[in-house]
Chain A
Amino acid sequence: MQQHEIHHFLERYFEANECTVEARHPSYMKIQLTVELDKLLMNRPFYWHYLEKTGGVPNPLTLTLVTGQQTPPDGGGEFIHFGSPRLHQIFASTKKLGSFIRMYESITQHSGQNIALHPWLCVNMKTSYQCDRKKDRISSYGIHLITGRMVESFHEKLSKLPLTRKIPDFCYTLSPFIRPISGLKRIESLVEQEIKQDDHSWAEDAKARWREDEDLLDRFYEDEEEKPEYYHVEKEALRTQYEPIISVDIINGGLFYLSETALS
């Protein structure tokens, strides 16, 4: 992620969170935080606790973030880069803030007739393949909660549709047939099947490397009946180093009510 991308991301982030941008510059920004974001980002639980107890007037902080060469005229400001803790904190906060959604397809043209919107459950997930190396894959699935039809790259398809937070006029939603929790389970088993069909030579290779190092370790201490403590430490270290692990995390998801023809 380049600095200008970070800058753009931050602007969108603070605007989406209804903060006032007090100073706007290609190289920096000064943000008046909302109470909610102050609590999320500024790490001052005692202040907020105190305020709640005493019923005082909340006074959220301002935050100056620098993404380029130029610093604000009044000095200060945090330099934000891809590795900076602040950016990672902000990234992490998006997971809290942007995890659960419900949207409706925005339908403006209608022929006087009411339009039925079909319930879809969408999840975006990250699958991580980890040993002493690591790779991630981001995928998106949608399941039609009436027919059970599943669609891949669902988020991409959603991105092309006009969406709104409120149900549009002259539209009504169809009730789900499949409970969302069952929908999630169906997606999970689909993902599991797909993962199982993947090429897992990476895991086999990692296990081979693991075995190789473990053999060496065993040989190093083969003459010692009572293995020293660091033999076990080393053995455990090898496990954490090489053990292949696949983990699937849901990034975010939610319900989308779409017209019958939306995905065709």
Chain B
Amino acid sequence: MNLNINFNREWHDEFIKRMDDDGPWTKWELYNLALEAEKNLSIPDFLGLQAPGHLPQLTFLPHQLEVAKTVIEKMNGKAILADEVGLGKTIEAGLILKEYMIRGLAKKVLILVPASLVLQWTGELNSKFFIPAVAQKKSYVWEQCEVVVSSIDTAKRQPHRDIVLNQDYDIIVIDEAHKLKNKNTKNYEFVQHLKKKFCLLLTATPVQNRVEEIFNLVSLLKPGHLGNQENFDKDFRNDKHSLKNEEKLKQLVNKVMVRNRREETGLKWPKRFVKTIPITLSETERNLYSSISELKELPQFSRSKFSVLTLQREVCSSREACFMTLKNMLQKDPYSEHTIVPLMKKIEEVTQNSKAMKTLELVQSINDKVIIFTEYRATQLYLQWYLQQHGISSVPFRGGFKRSKKEYMTHLFKNHAQVLIATEAGGEGINLQFCQHIINYDLPWNPMRIEQRIGRIHRIGQKGDVHIYNFATENTIEERILNLLYNKINLFESVIGELDEILAKFELKNIETYISDIMLNSESEGEMKVKMDNLASLINLGGGIKKKGWEEHAAARDSSFS
């Protein structure tokens, strides 16, 4: 084989010069130290992991070591790390990064993470992995520091963008990579332009709702691995809603993606205890709910039935949430005054929030840290006030918070407050495993988001059992979705890692829209029930098939490593 060998001859000239000058010559001890230093830095073998030996203070779980080996040796350093929430993807990424750095294959590293996680990543890489990562704060950091952690939103903006695209990165790590599923976004375009020698995409939800998303994600990592859009459609797309050659697609995806499931890791996981807590509306609340529901029949709402659904869900949450939406509707369309003002009057008549009362009662009886998830900001504010009235301190948490504020809030919750009240966006990117109780004050209609919520506390590091309380307002859409769908697919008890694949499989473009559709367009309670049943059995059936497929895959992977 014709191979170029580069002889570095710098040493020669200097040696000759010293011969001519008769020195200076080093001491035997220093000479030996130089050789020893080099011996310590040299890599004895192409295969295997050096990093664990350098990190004696860290205990890696078997699946984490296997992921690192697979990514480096089978995937050539370009991979989607898609372990289920809480299995330690950050650790896996750090381990892989460390390995490449030790081998001298990576010097310049870029790590793009959600803003709220920049400091956490920086801290963990430094303290756990001895990787001198620097959080990007000033623009000179891009050029002068070798390992930089930044949010993608900062990196893609000028003046950073040009500087970043000019760097010769050896590894790029992107956390929460499912946000790159849409190729028409600025983030996608930005990552596409980055030079990716080695690249790790981290996500707990690789395919959220569409099969297109996995195509986009894989094409970002390894363009052409799934063909181009045209061949992909030809090879794998049956029609708008279904796939063909699915086995083949799965095999292809598995060449660039590692996905461990809790069950497969053989780890002992804390148990999940799920409890549905029924809420009975007070008379005035019931009145409000009924009046809102009647809006559906009005001609001016025939086009925007969805907003009725939103209002219904909001009434189940708090009158404040409902009021904000009504107020906005009124501002947009002053002519709707005659329908909206009476509803506002009904809101005024509501004197208590039955759900909040139940929350208070529950929080008091738990007498331990609790996270309350709500979908609405108005509810969040109200709850904070309400709990305060009863001597319970709480901290708010929102996706829009700055990185430092998120960390501060987490710190406050850990050390000073009993309750953290988070809106949906707070679900991602924070680790709260010191807390064991979650109240789903109201439920999102995308089941994947429930898993993300639970994943905040049901993860490695959680010492006790995890308790999940689901509030269901009786005789409302809330109770229906819980009973008709979520409970049927065991959303809360079982690990729903398969769910994302199932949804992709059936090309349920957007499960939220699908559920809304059932809710809105069913003529009767019976019809709704039948449709929901169908959806549930579809998911259950799909789950069964899928699960088997994954187990076989896992077994195959195991045997190749034995």
Residues of A whose CB lies within 8 Å of any CB of B are 1-3, 9, 12-13, 15-17, 81-85, 90-91, 94-95, 97-103, 123-124, 126, 128-130, 132-138, 155, 159, 163, 165, 180-181, 184, 188, 192, 195-196, 200, 202-204, 209, 213, 215-223, 229-230, 233-234, 236-237, 240-242, 244-255
* CB<8 Å pairs between A and B, sample of 17: A1-B54, A16-B30, A83-B132, A84-B132, A132-B76, A133-B105, A192-B5, A204-B1, A213-B224, A220-B228, A221-B228, A237-B195, A249-B11, A252-B26, A252-B35, A253-B15, A255-B19
Kindly identify which residue among A15, A126, A240, A247 contacts B38, using a CB–CB cutoff of 8 Å. Answer: A126
Interface residues of B in 19-50 (CB under 8 A from A): 19, 23-47
Known: A204-B1, A222-B228. 7 other contacts (CB 8 A): A98-B32, A99-B26, A138-B38, A203-B1, A223-B230, A230-B192, A246-B6
Q: A227 vs B228: C-alpha distance in the bound complex, in angstroms?
A: 14
Q: Is the beta-carbon distance between B224 and A135 smaller than 8 angstroms?
A: no
Q: Is the beta-carbon distance between A84 and B130 smaller than 8 angstroms?
A: yes
Q: Is the beta-carbon distance between B34 and A240 smaller than 8 angstroms?
A: no
Tell which of B8, B37, B195, B222 has the most Cβ of chain A within 10 Å.
Answer: B37
Q: Is the beta-carbon distance between A253 and B104 smaller than 8 angstroms?
A: no
Q: Is the beta-carbon distance between A124 and B35 smaller than 8 angstroms?
A: yes
Check B157 for interface membership: any CB of A closer than 8 A. Answer: no
Q: A237 vs B220: C-alpha distance in the bound complex, in angstroms?
A: 13
Q: Is the beta-carbon distance between B196 and A1 smaller than 8 angstroms?
A: no
Q: Is the beta-carbon distance between B11 and A223 smaller than 8 angstroms?
A: no
List chain B residues, Cβ under 8 A from A237: 195-197
List chain B residues, Cβ under 8 A from A103: 25, 28
Write the nearest CB–CB distance from A189 to chain B, whole angstroms. Answer: 10
Given A83-B98, A97-B34, A230-B192, the answer on whether A223 and B4 have CB atoms closer than 8 Å is no
List chain A residues, Cβ under 8 A from B43: 134-136
| A185 to B, closest residue via Cβ | B12
Q: A246 vs B5: C-alpha distance in the bound complex, in angstroms?
A: 5
Q: Is the beta-carbon distance between B5 and A135 smaller than 8 angstroms?
A: no
Given A200-B3, A247-B8, the answer on whether A241 and B77 have CB atoms closer than 8 Å is yes
- Interface flags, B182-206, vs A, CB<8A=1, else 0: 0000000000111111100000000
Q: A195 vs B27: C-alpha distance in the bound complex, in angstroms?
A: 31
Q: A97 vs B98: C-alpha distance in the bound complex, in angstroms?
A: 28
Write the nearest CB–CB distance from B105 to chain A, whole angstroms. Answer: 5
Kindly identify which residue among B7, B12, B193 contacts A230, using a CB–CB cutoff of 8 Å. Answer: B193
| A206 to B, closest residue via Cβ | B76
List chain A residues, Cβ under 8 A from B129: 83
Given A81-B130, A254-B15, the answer on whether A133 and B6 have CB atoms closer than 8 Å is no
Q: Is the beta-carbon distance between A184 and B12 smaller than 8 angstroms?
A: yes
List chain B residues, Cβ under 8 A from A218: 224
Q: A20 vs B246: C-alpha distance in the bound complex, in angstroms?
A: 70
Given A83-B98, A95-B37, the answer on whether A12 and B29 have CB atoms closer than 8 Å is yes
7 shortest A-B CB distances, which residue pairs? A216-B224, A83-B130, A98-B34, A220-B224, A136-B42, A98-B30, A94-B34
Q: Is the beta-carbon distance between B15 and A180 smaller than 8 angstroms?
A: yes
Kindly identify which residue among A1, A102, A134, A181 contacts B40, using a CB–CB cutoff of 8 Å. Answer: A1
Write the nearest CB–CB distance from B466 to chain A, whole angstroms. Answer: 34
Q: Is the beta-carbon distance between A95 and B224 smaller than 8 angstroms?
A: no
Q: A218 vs B228: C-alpha distance in the bound complex, in angstroms?
A: 10
Check B56 for interface membership: any CB of A closer than 8 A. Answer: yes
Write the nearest CB–CB distance from A103 to chain B, whole angstroms. Answer: 6
Q: A68 vs B244: C-alpha distance in the bound complex, in angstroms?
A: 59
Q: Is the beta-carbon distance between B105 and A132 smaller than 8 angstroms?
A: yes
Q: Is the beta-carbon distance between B44 and A135 smaller than 8 angstroms?
A: yes
Kindly identify which residue among A9, A137, A215, A242 contacts B36, using a CB–CB cutoff of 8 Å. Answer: A9
List chain A residues, Cβ under 8 A from B8: 247-250
Q: A188 vs B16: C-alpha distance in the bound complex, in angstroms?
A: 16
